[in-house]
Amino acid sequence: MSGRFTGLLLGAAALALVVVGFAGASSATTQVTKQPKIAKEVPSKIRSKGTLTVATDATYAPMEFFASNGKTIVGVDADLAKALGTVLGLNFKVVNGTFATIIPGLASGKYGVGMSSFTDTKARQKKVDFVTYFVAGTSFYVKASGGPAISGLSSLCGKTVAVENGTTQQADATAQNKKCKSAGKPSVKVSAFNDQNQANLALSSGRAQVGMADSPVAAYIVKQSHGQFKLSGKSYGTAPYGIALPKNNGMAKPILDAMKYLIKSGAYHKILAKWGVQSGAISNPKINGAIS
């Protein structure tokens, strides 16, 4: 993953409207059923257990966030997790967790799956396996009134940037800080927060000048800000999202085949359309498909 979304920018009534609107669309979703041939690929130890805990950081709408009741996790990843579990004959139990703790939680056995807009990177593949399922870039957003013009990472010199801890945006902004210093330009102050809500609060309160998040999430943040924020510059760094799995635990192949089934059946595309993120669709999921 890269950025995250703010519940801050949504009043309860506004969020309720969003959730109700999407719920109406969900009725058109293709019926998903268990596929015995694919389900047999699940390792017997996991199959006998029957339930896998799916960790997500539910502050990153429309990919994953809390519904208006403050308890139910909804969004693209939650819907895909439910569909994948059905295909595999498993109960995928989606739980909330801090983004930076999810991959360590997979390694320790606390979680069975991580679905939290993870960018599949070669560095992360040293710790977990991924099955790709979406593509996204990074976008910049600023205050609509008085916000700086950002054309790319080089524009961050001398700016305070709000990002979520553990994200590719944090890594990119930190790397840009070194480049700015090497060029004799003002440094980038990188303010990293435990979730996207806090990062967006820093921007809205004036403690940061620029926000960075995955492109569909940044667009959603701006859309729900009621004119408070705007996108600035073009997106960069399009890369695959991956479903994170404990390294070599035997689940990558069944998850891959289940994802291929969802794509072929049309259920995958209907889930993306439900949340308005069709532009991130892929047609050929891969195991460990990182491009960098």
Residue 130 tokens, joined: 């991924």
- Does pLDDT of 268 surpass 50? yes
* Better-predicted residue by pLDDT, 1 or 149: 149
Mean pLDDT of the chain: 91
CA atoms within 13 A on the CB side of 154: 4
pLDDT of residue 265: 97
pLDDT at 9 over 60: no
DSSP state, residue 280: G
pLDDT digits (tens, 9 = 90+) for 53-97: 999 999 999 999 999 999 999 999 999 999 999 999 999 999 999
In the chain, % of residues over pLDDT 90: 89
Tokens of 180: 């700015």
Task: Please report where in the chains the tokens 């309720």 appear, as a residue.
Answer: 16
pLDDT per residue as tens digits for the range 234-246: 999 999 999 999 9
Euclidean distance between CA atoms 262 and 112, whole angstroms: 20
How far, rounded to the nearest angstrom, does the alpha carbon of residue 160 sit from its chain's CA centroid? 23
Give the model's confidence band at 15: pLDDT under 50 very low, under 70 low, under 90 confident, else very high: very low
Least confident of 21-30, 124-133, 167-176, 275-284: 21-30
Model pTM score = 0.84
Res 6 pLDDT > 50: no
Name the residue ranges covered by the structural domains of the chain: 12-136+239-280, 137-237
Is residue 30 very low, low, confident or very high in pLDDT (cuts 50, 70, 90)?
low
SS3 percent helix, strand, coil of the chain, rounded to 5, is 40, 25, 35
pLDDT in tens, 166-214: 999 999 999 999 999 999 999 999 999 999 999 999 999 999 999 999 9
The CATH code of domain 137-237 reads 3.40.190.10
Q: Where are the alpha helices (DSSP H) in 194-251?
A: 196-204, 215-223
Q: What are phi and psi of 226, to 5 degrees?
A: 55, 45
In Å, what is the CA distance from 219 to each residue of 41, 110, 140, 198? 38, 32, 9, 17
To the question of domain 12-136+239-280 being in CATH 3.40.50.2300, the answer is no
* Identical fold between 12-136+239-280 and 137-237: yes
Q: Confidence band (pLDDT; 50, 70, 90) for 160? A: very high
